[in-house]
Amino acid sequence: MIYEEYAIFTPGPVKMSDEILQVGAKQTPYFRNSGFSEVTFACEKGLLEMVNAPEGSKVIFLTASGTAGMESAVMNLLDKNDNALVVNGGGFGARFVDICATHGVPHTNFKVANTNLSDIERLAPNGDHTALVVNAHETSIGHLYDLDAMGEYAVKQDLLYIVDAISMMVTDPLDMQQSNIDVVIASSQKGLALPPGLTMVILSPKAQQALKETHSLYFNFTDYLSNGERGQTPYTPAVTIMLQLEARLNQIKHRGGIAQSIADAKEVAVYFRESIQALPLKTFTPYMPNAMTALSPTDGKSAIDIVNELEAQYKVMVCPNGGAERDTVFRVSHMGEVTKAYTDILIDALHQYYGVARP
């Protein structure tokens, strides 16, 4: 299964740039030396700048997929004396609920639909909460929450504000200081457009103060923080992906900075949505990120059939949904190395599939 010749619009792994692929083709270097410490420091500095982290923030680099970032954040920052308000608007929100349950963290399963929580003050259930936990972009349905409004609520209620930004950083605005975010969870294979295997947890000074004793060897953040002072990790890091991260952060800078990356993603997302208006497809939610468009067929066709046809006939990869949404929703990612010209491949394929001339 080699996808070199396929056009890729899946929400992770996403289309990567040649520059980043070339870094991945090189010999993995030894890392317990000052040369690699410099790489770690550069990655940390670049990430903290990108999300406008408050002074004194630190990055934990874990060799794992994004869910380990979610779980380790809960393990290190919440315990049985907490009460987490967990926003659950889909599969990833439900995962945070499961993580809290697994680790015995008292929590409220705050089920939401058809809202970006800009009125969270009115909607949030009462309860003596200590933390607010959310996936900024609920990737299962392409739905973006209002991080500023939630941050204001978190400040008012004195909640530790934990944000999984995995599938919206780089394509959509993320500002820790403006939104009063205490913890950001990031991962390599979405907006950062790197291979999977590196997850990062960004801790503000307030979050560092809030660290608890953790019953885990590998996921002990205190250990990562002390090793991080000399640019190292307690265990072998994803060396090559960190070299690719350093290159990617430089690439974002050279291309005009994070604001430009966000503007570019928005341009592609808007272009895609405007270009498919003649087709029997409707967008699934009004609160769409630049990162993704979730679509529902309006002509009774099955979403999974469309996904399979695009792959088999046109060598175009989009993403199916599971469970009850298998037939009603599929997703198109705008993350990674996708220009308007690249997106035309999908737009043309969809028009051909429906037998509709592109206007």
Ligand X SMILES: *Cc1c(COP(=O)(O)O)cnc(C)c1O
Contact with ligand X (CB under 6 A): which of 67, 157, 232, 333?
A: 67
- Residue 89 near ligand X by CB under 6 A: no
ω into 13 cis (within 30 of 0): yes
What's the N-to-C CA distance of the chain in angstroms? 35
Contact with ligand X (CB under 6 A): which of 71, 164, 172, 182?
A: 164
CB 164 to ligand X: min, Å? 5
- Residue 297 near ligand X by CB under 6 A: no
87's tokens: 């926003």
Q: Select the span of 25-33, 35-43, 61-69, 248-256 touching ligand X (CB under 6 A).
A: 61-69
- Residue 10 near ligand X by CB under 6 A: no
| CA proximity to 132, closest of 142, 140, 141, 120 | 120
Order of all β-strands in the sheet with 281-283:
281-283, 292-297, 330-333, 319-320
Choice between 200 and 279, CB closer to ligand X: 200
- Residue 204 near ligand X by CB under 6 A: no
Binding mask 106-135 for ligand X (x = CB under 6 A): -----------------------------x
- Residue 275 near ligand X by CB under 6 A: no
Please give the Cα distance from 191 to 288 (Å, whole number).
15
Beta bridge partners of 339: none
335: left (phi over 0), alpha (psi -120 to 50) or beta: beta
Q: Is the dihedral of CA 88, 112, 174, 81 positive or negative?
A: negative
Contact with ligand X (CB under 6 A): which of 40, 72, 130, 139?
A: 139
Choice between 67 and 204, CB closer to ligand X: 67
CA dihedral 247, 251, 252, 254 (to 10 degrees): 140
- Residue 66 near ligand X by CB under 6 A: yes
Q: Which residues bind ligand X (CB under 6 A)?
A: 12, 65-67, 70, 92, 135, 137, 139, 164, 166-167, 187, 190, 196
